[in-house]
Amino acid sequence: MSLLEAEQLSISFGGVKAVQSVSFSVEAGEVFSIVGPNGAGKTTIFNLISRIYDSTAGRLSFSGQDITRVETHAVAGLGIARTFQNTELFEQETVLNNLLIGCHIHRKTRFWQDILFSPSVRRQELAFRRAVEDVIDLLDLQTYRHQIIGNLPYGVRKMVEIARALCLKPKLLLLDEPSSGLNPEETDDLAFWLEDINEALGITVIMVEHDMNLVGQASDRVMAMADGQLLTIGSPAEVQNHPEVLRAYLGQ
Amino acid sequence: MRFIRRTDYEQDINLVQHKGHVLWYGLLLLLVFSAPLWLDRFLLGEFTYVFIYAIAGLGLMLLVGYTGLVSLGHAAFLAIGAYVHAFLLGHGWPFPLSMLFATGFSALVGALIAIPALRMTGIYLAVATLAFAVIVEQVLVHWEAVTGGFRGMAVPKPVLFGINFSDPTLFYFLSLLLLLVSLVLVMNILRSPSGRAMTAVRDSETSAESMGIHLAGTKTLAFALSAGFTGLAGALFAHRLTYLAPDAFTIVTSIQLLLMVVVGGLGSLHGVVFGALFVGLLPQIIAIARDSAPPVVAQIPGLEPAVFGLIMILFLIYEPLGIYGRWQKIRQFFEEFPLYRRATHRRQKTFLRTERLR
Amino acid sequence: MEIIQLLISGVSQGCVYGLIALGFVLIYKATEMVNFAQGDVMMLGAYVAITFTSIWGWPYYWAVPATLLVMAGVGILLERLLFRPMIGEPHFAVLMLTIGLGFVLRALAGAIWGSEPRALQMPYVGDVLRMGEVVVGYENLAIIAGTALLCLLMWLFFRFTTVGLAMQAASQNQLAAFYVGIPVKRIFMLVWALSAVIAAIAGILTAPVSLVDPLIGFVGIKAFAAAIVGGFGSMPGAILGGLLVGIVEQLAGLYLPPGFADMSAYVLLLVMLVIRPQGLFATMQKKKV
């Protein structure tokens, strides 16, 4: 059984068919990349998986469970975390608080315990804090711990967003263009971290990415899309040389 | 300048984070608790008023400053708290119980209002709350059997075990105590997952939802809490007014409450207290200024709201972070003297993009 | 017959709401700002007209254009002093600012013109049109006709003129509009002037029907409800919303116990927001990620 399965997934906005009958499956433990020119429907697929959009047809299942119509906020609880193309961090909060919000799905306390700050809330806060510090160590964010997101440079924000997603302790991580806005050096670091995340933490990764070097270096399999349609799925080398992919990027 | 050396995760979690806090807040507490000894009666009453305002401000700050939902109708919750409390007292309930019930009832109404409000954001929500407040005001005017309409409704004295709490000193302590309790409760919320969920909703709803935060639940909670605290303030306010009439709970009151959180500084609890001091004491300052002003100026109708409005405009243009923001800048100036640079706080230019389809 | 009579007065009152709502929507469409003081700008316009006619005794064909000119100036002044520094600030801040402005304007009007209600004398006031048993005052007809004419002009303006198109562009993306060479600041100034003029027209039309005092600006809140009922950001929606609110108010006054007429606009608004939060004419969308 695959970790994530999409069958005949489709969505259209008015007359625009953003994704048309796309089927793919992602195995547990792999790094799966989605490539394609702008407007190919890559981010739309992410938005379908994280249930920001309702699919018009097709089916999505995650470790055997049908998630096609599950509620948006319940997706995180199933073990799916994501980042956003242009970062969607909590701008007025510190890095620490952003990461603590990432721990939200593991919360066991109720509101009335929170308002009284019962000992169980304190214990839980300490546990969250330890989990957050592990992620901070992994991604080298110590310097920024108490800084407000609004004051951070773009590259750091990208990393904070990945860190926040990791705090969910997900089974599946969706990264939307993790390298966009990073300089070459930071992109190199990112490739190493991806490996850590995938191998050391055992998290399955799906990423939308334009940097073909990063895709070739990090991913096990690649799916190419154009105009909302699936072109091919295969190893990075296969996809890069696939005639339809070349045509989609270079034209006729 | 203070650098905090952190050796323990609990340091970030505790309410009192370092020795400086203990000293300064300890002094402040000493000051407010000893106030009845050295403050004259009139000023004591004014400070009681400030405390009541601060409780309502805490409620509104939770909603506007921390959850990012604007309410233009919080006077309605103030009214609900006041009228329910007065009504129950009139039916012989002991006053702590009726105060608790008024708080709870107000919170319940807040939660109910949140249901339609969940689907709205921004101005839509602001206007919906405004509409709600107008409707409540009309109900107060026309439901004469219970509220007494324009004639008003007397508030029975708060008496418990033969002690009359409407005595200025006792009422001062009662208000102070309730403010401190409310403050601690709000701080507890803010340092726990419930409060973080609120700030997450404020900064990015999409992102919060994909972090597993239940938007509807969080907003409902914020509304209910906010209405609850404001209702509690309303119950205290009833005793200050001693006679309830609908004209004490109009749009102007709602705006005053909002003014308090904006002028105080959005998104900070210090801001609530600064704002309450400001809004609570300003009418007195205006009244004094009015006495010494030439009659042409002094007799302008609506002078007080106009001064409020003008101050709000000036703050929004020149100091959007409110009194607390200004206070931080001043403190930083002295801490870093002579190295302070204005540019540290320069605002970045921002541009709006529409979220409309056409 | 009574019902037709009521409907006509509902429509004429609704047109006033619609005109103020039009001002809201215009500013919102162009600058994404919400001007809560629009009703008070209308009040100011009515007072300026009264000053020119009743106090200084100008003939109305001079007084009306002069009023519009003065109010355009007021609009520009407000933009330069208050709203230009707020470009790009959050909606909430601008909303609060305009609420503050409303209080200041009311006190200002009270200081200049006093709080006694005043009447605006227009040449057509007092005459009535009889159609069978239905009697309609010319002042009500003037409101309806004026609104219809203004709507037509606005539609032509936004549909066919470059300035109108530039306004739409500036509203959708300030930075992008600036980059393609649209003088965004000047456009915004023009928009504020235009909306002040519309408010003044509303003031001149409504003043003969209801007396003018510093507090008439509060109808702005009802007009705001109308704008939202119509779907904020849609100009036909604003007028339609205004008509709906005006008519519902009249009917509530007839069929429901006293007090409900004043509330009906807000109840309508709440019901609308619950059933169809995007208004009659939807213009909002969810943020894209």
Q: What is the mean pLDDT of residues C23-47?
A: 86
pLDDT at B50 over 70: yes
Provide the shortest C-alpha distance from residue A190 to chain C (in Å).
Answer: 22
Question: Are B122 and C92 inside 8 Å of each other by CB?
Answer: yes
Please, are residues C30 and C259 in contact by the beta-carbon 8 Å criterion?
Answer: no
Taking CA atoms, B106 is separated from B57, B189, C112, in Å, by: 15, 19, 42
Q: What is the mean pLDDT of residues B215-235?
A: 92
Provide the shortest C-alpha distance from residue A85 to chain C (in Å).
Answer: 7
What ipTM does the predicted assembly reach?
0.88
Which of C17-31, C43-57, C255-269 bottoms out in mean pLDDT, i.e. has the lowest? C255-269
Q: Whole-angstrom Cα distance, residue C217 to residue C17?
A: 11
Which of A36-45, C99-108, C220-229 bottoms out in mean pLDDT, i.e. has the lowest? C220-229
Q: What is the mean pLDDT of residues A203-209?
A: 92
Closest CA to B73 of B113, B102, B104, B115: B113
Question: Are C228 and B124 inside 8 Å of each other by CB?
Answer: yes
From chain B, the residues in CB contact with A82 under 8 A are 210
Chain A: partners with 3+ C-beta pairs within 8 Å: B, C
Tokens of B114: 């949140």
Closest CA to B251 of B291, B309, B315, B205: B309
Asked if residue B9 is part of any domain, the answer here is no
Name the closest residue on chain B to residue C257, using Cα atoms. B142
The confidence score (pLDDT) of residue C277 equals: 63
The confidence score (pLDDT) of residue A26 equals: 93
pLDDT at B248 over 50: yes
Q: Whole-angstrom Cα distance, residue A200 to residue B167?
A: 68
Residue at B46: amino acid letter? E
User: What CATH number corresponds to the domain at position B52?
Assistant: 1.10.3470
Q: Whole-angstrom Cα distance, residue B96 to residue B4?
A: 42
Q: Select the more confidently predicted residue: A248 or B61.
A: B61
Residue at C77: amino acid letter? L
* Facing residue for C174 by CB, picked from B124, B131, B352: B352
The confidence score (pLDDT) of residue A208 equals: 92
How do A16-26 and A4-13 pair as beta strands?
Answer: antiparallel
Cβ neighbour number for residue A170 with a 10 Å cutoff: 22
Q: Which 3 state secondary structure label does DSSP give A4?
A: strand
From chain A, the residues in CB contact with C289 under 8 A are 43, 47, 52, 84-86, 88
- Where helices occur in chain C by DSSP H, the ranges are 2-31, 38-50, 60-78, 91-113, 138-160, 162-172, 174-179, 184-206, 219-229, 235-255, 260-275
Q: Is C258 on the interface with B (CB under 8 A)?
A: yes
Q: How far apart are the first and last CA of chain B?
A: 51
From chain B, the residues in CB contact with A109 under 8 A are 192-193
**Residues B272-303: pLDDT tens digits?**
888 898 888 888 888 888 777 777 666 777 77
**Residues C135-174: pLDDT tens digits?**
777 888 888 888 888 888 888 887 888 888 888 777 777 7
Q: Which 3 state secondary structure label does DSSP give C7?
A: helix
The confidence score (pLDDT) of residue B75 equals: 92
Q: What residues make up the domain containing B165?
A: 41-342
pLDDT at B181 over 50: yes
Residue B73 has φ and ψ, to the nearest 5°, of: -130, 35
From chain B, the residues in CB contact with C262 under 8 A are 134, 138
Tokens of C221: 């809140």
Taking CA atoms, B286 is separated from A238, B290, B305, B307, in Å, by: 78, 6, 10, 8
Q: Is C81 on the interface with B (CB under 8 A)?
A: no
Ramachandran sector of residue B161 (left: φ over 0; alpha: ψ -120 to 50; beta: rest): left
Q: Select the more confidently predicted residue: A144 or B43.
A: A144
Question: Are C259 and B138 inside 8 Å of each other by CB?
Answer: yes
Asked if residue B216 is part of any domain, the answer here is yes
Closest CA to C267 of B110, B128, B255: B128
Mean pLDDT, all residues of chain B:
83
Taking CA atoms, A240 is separated from A191, A231, A232, A235, in Å, by: 19, 11, 10, 9
Provide the shortest C-alpha distance from residue B30 to chain A (in Å).
Answer: 25
Q: Select the more confidently predicted residue: C261 or B234.
A: B234
pLDDT at B173 over 70: yes
Q: Is B104 on the interface with A (CB under 8 A)?
A: no
Question: Are A93 and B203 inside 8 Å of each other by CB?
Answer: yes
Instruction: Kindly report the pTM of this predicted structure.
Output: 0.86
Topology (CATH) of A4-79+170-250: Rossmann fold (3.40.50)
Which of A24-28, B15-19, C102-106 bottoms out in mean pLDDT, i.e. has the lowest? B15-19
| Residues of chain C above pLDDT 70, percent | 94
**Residues C209-248: pLDDT tens digits?**
778 888 888 888 888 888 888 777 777 888 888 888 888 8
- Sequence-separated (6 or more) residues with CB below 8 Å from residue A2: A25, A26, A27, A28
Q: Select the more confidently predicted residue: C131 or B97.
A: B97
Chain B: partners with 3+ C-beta pairs within 8 Å: A, C
Question: Are B9 and A102 inside 8 Å of each other by CB?
Answer: no
Q: Is C289 on the interface with A (CB under 8 A)?
A: yes
**What residue spans define the domains of chain C?**
16-217
pLDDT at B3 over 70: no
Q: Select the more confidently predicted residue: B145 or A180.
A: A180
**CB-count exposure of residue C2 (10 Å: 0-12, 13-18, 19+):** exposed
Provide the shortest C-alpha distance from residue C104 to chain A (in Å).
Answer: 32
Closest CA to A179 of A198, A165, A166, A192: A192
Question: Are C274 and B355 inside 8 Å of each other by CB?
Answer: no
Q: Select the more confidently predicted residue: A68 or C260.
A: A68
Chain C: partners with 3+ C-beta pairs within 8 Å: A, B
Residues 36-65 of B with CB under 8 A from A: none
The confidence score (pLDDT) of residue B355 equals: 45
Name the closest residue on chain C to residue A82, using Cα atoms. C289
The confidence score (pLDDT) of residue B233 equals: 94
Question: Are A109 and B192 inside 8 Å of each other by CB?
Answer: yes
Paired strand residues for A229? A226
The confidence score (pLDDT) of residue B354 equals: 45
Give me the torsion for CA of B355, A97, B196, A182, rounded to 10°. Answer: 20
pLDDT at C282 over 60: no
**What residue spans define the domains of chain A?**
4-79+170-250
Residue linked to tokens 């013109």: C113
| Residues of chain A above pLDDT 70, percent | 100
| Band of pLDDT at residue B356, cut at 50, 70 and 90 | very low
pLDDT at B357 over 50: no
From chain C, the residues in CB contact with A85 under 8 A are 289
The confidence score (pLDDT) of residue C279 equals: 60
SS3 sequence of chain B: CCCCCCCCCHHHHCCCCCHHHHHHHHHHHHHHHHHHHHCCHHHHHHHHHHHHHHHHHHHHHHHHHHCCCCCCCHHHHHHHHHHHHHHHHHCCCCHHHHHHHHHHHHHHHHHHHHHHHCCCCHHHHHHHHHHHHHHHHHHHHHCHHHHCHHHCEECCCCEECCEECCCHHHHHHHHHHHHHHHHHHHHHHHCCHHHHHHHHHHHCHHHHHHCCCCHHHHHHHHHHHHHHHHHHHHHHHHHHHCEECHHHCCHHHHHHHHHHHHHHCCCCHHHHHHHHHHHHHHHHHHHHHHHHCCHHHHCCCCHHHHHHHHHHHHHHHHCCCHHHHHHHHHHHHHHHCCCCCHHHHCCCCCCCECCECC
The confidence score (pLDDT) of residue A180 equals: 85
Helix (H) or strand (E) holding A203, with range, is: none
Mean pLDDT, all residues of chain A:
89
pLDDT at B358 over 60: no
Provide the shortest C-alpha distance from residue B187 to chain A (in Å).
Answer: 8
The number of distinct structural domains making up chain B is 1
Cβ neighbour number for residue B123 with a 10 Å cutoff: 22
* Facing residue for B301 by CB, picked from C86, C115, C284: C115
| Band of pLDDT at residue B351, cut at 50, 70 and 90 | low
Ramachandran sector of residue A109 (left: φ over 0; alpha: ψ -120 to 50; beta: rest): beta
Size of interface A-B (CB pairs under 8 A): 109
Name the closest residue on chain B to residue C234, using Cα atoms. B358
